Amino acid sequence: MKNYLTFLLRCFRLSLVGHRSYKIWIISLTAISLLGLNAYLKQFVQGLATTGMTDQVSWGMYIANFTFLVGMAAAAVMLVIPAYIYRNKELHNLVIYGELLAVAAIIMCLMFITADLGRPDRFANLLRRFNFPDSVLAWDVIALNGYLLLNVWICGYLIFKKYMNKTPSKKFYIPFVFIAIVWAFSIHTVTAFLYQGLGSRPFWNSAVIAPRFLASAFAAGPAFIIVTLQVIRHFTSCEVKDVALKTLKGIVTIALTVNMFLLGCEVFTEFYTGSAHAVSAEYLFLGLHGHSALVPWIWTAITFNTIALIILYAPRIRDRMAWVNVACVLMIVGIWIEKGMGLIIPAFVPSPLGEIVEYAPTMNETIICLGIWAFGLLCYTILVRVTVPVLSGELSVDSNTTKSTLNTPSPSKEGVQS
């Protein structure tokens, strides 16, 4: 216990040390997080009237971000499967950064749910009427919190054992790794079922929702990890090989292709057959009776994802990391729009009574969202900041230094080679 408490203390001290750019990043995220907290306290006092949500559109940016982040958390499995099942050595040492991302993403998910509930004490009502196993919401609660505990245990155990200069016992983490693989698919599938099971929202009543969720998650999540790994190898001593980035790029390319294909299938079904939820789809893609608030959003998302796909397939630029980074950023933003504003809001327009009430987030609502994102990125930054020196051996039970590994950027690497 003494060694563990000392480890936590040294990690805390290390998180405050770093290059000037690291300190500026940490201070900026902290400031935005505090602004978000102030906005949430205003919502706590005045209620959800401070948001743009109404009786007709009862889910907004909070649930939109929650849906996207569930996918980001599930995407960690795209590092775990190649490393542990296919024994990809290049990805084996990088798996932990994907799992740390899952931890930060689930924390943000829970914070967005808390913000959407209006008051934290409403969690008590959820637990008091848990209604397991009949309620899909109960399954979602178990899936999210179970996945968080799995990743916290795996990361915490491996990092602490490395700090203690001891070899991790496989029986204490390998079974949990394989459980986490299955669990990663379940968290996004259960979230999709949460929407698909609402019969009064025909826009969600499609069997393709769950596959689209997984495809988009396995595109946006690894894309974020690609960018993160390049930042890590530029500012730290951690070695990230180009072949590892190339493997992730291949995963992203296939996942985005499948996501775009499934989107095309759904658009065809909606508009060619004139199904029951074609009205919501018409509102989303074309506008309805003069109401077109979401049309620019969805076409921006489709444009971004299409450009990203072209970059990833174009022979002359697909192996240049500068262009790959552009594609990653475009698909992250595009999928965020597609799975957020393009999925959640249209299901409420028109309402079951035929009312058309459009949704637009308020400034206070937007600041809360930015604050939660900033806090999540702050958590992820600190977790990575502490993990890198532990894995490299610079921070261990035998060392007496907390020298920053961010003070001396590593030599720049060339882009992924074909």
Close Cβ partners of 147 (under 8 Å, ≥ 6 residues apart) = 73, 102, 106, 180, 183, 184, 187
Query: Which pLDDT score, from 0 to 100, does residue 311 have?
Result: 94
Q: Give, for 247, the enclosing helix (H) or strand (E).
A: helix 242-273
Output the six-digit token pair for 210: 């769950």
Q: Is 76 helix (H, G, I), strand (E, B) or coil?
A: coil
> pLDDT of 299-344, one tens digit each?
999 999 999 999 999 988 888 889 999 999 999 999 999 988 888 9
What single-letter DSSP state applies at residue 77?
A: H
Query: Which pLDDT score, from 0 to 100, does residue 135 have?
Result: 80
Alpha helices in 314-408 (DSSP H): 321-339, 363-392
Close Cβ partners of 218 (under 8 Å, ≥ 6 residues apart) = 74, 75, 78, 251, 252, 255
Say how many Å lie between the first and final Cα of the chain, rounded. 49
Q: How far is CA 140 from CA 154, 180, 189, 191, in A?
A: 21, 15, 9, 6
Counting every residue written for the chain, the total comes to 418
Selection from 72, 71, 52 nearest residue 62 by Cα: 52
Query: Which pLDDT score, from 0 to 100, does residue 277 have?
Result: 66
Output the six-digit token pair for 359: 């949704």
DSSP code string of 210-237 = HHHHHHHHHHHHHHHHHHHHHHHHHHSS
Which class does domain 14-392 fall in? mainly alpha
> pLDDT of 86-99, one tens digit each?
777 777 778 888 89
d(Cα 10, Cα 402) in Å, to the nearest integer? 7
Q: Whose structure tokens read 């499609």?
A: 206
Q: Is 35 exposed, middle or buried (0-12, 13-18, 19+ CB in 10 A)?
A: middle
Single-letter residue type at 118: G
Rounded to the nearest 10°, the torsion over CA 215, 228, 239, 169 is: -60
pTM of the shown model: 0.89
Domain ranges of the chain: 14-392
d(Cα 195, Cα 70) in Å, to the nearest integer? 14
Q: Which residue stretches of the chain have pLDDT < 50?
A: 402-418
d(Cα 188, Cα 140) in Å, to the nearest integer? 9
Q: How far is CA 41 from CA 35, 115, 204, 277, in A?
A: 10, 10, 33, 37
Query: Which pLDDT score, from 0 to 100, does residue 275 have?
Result: 67
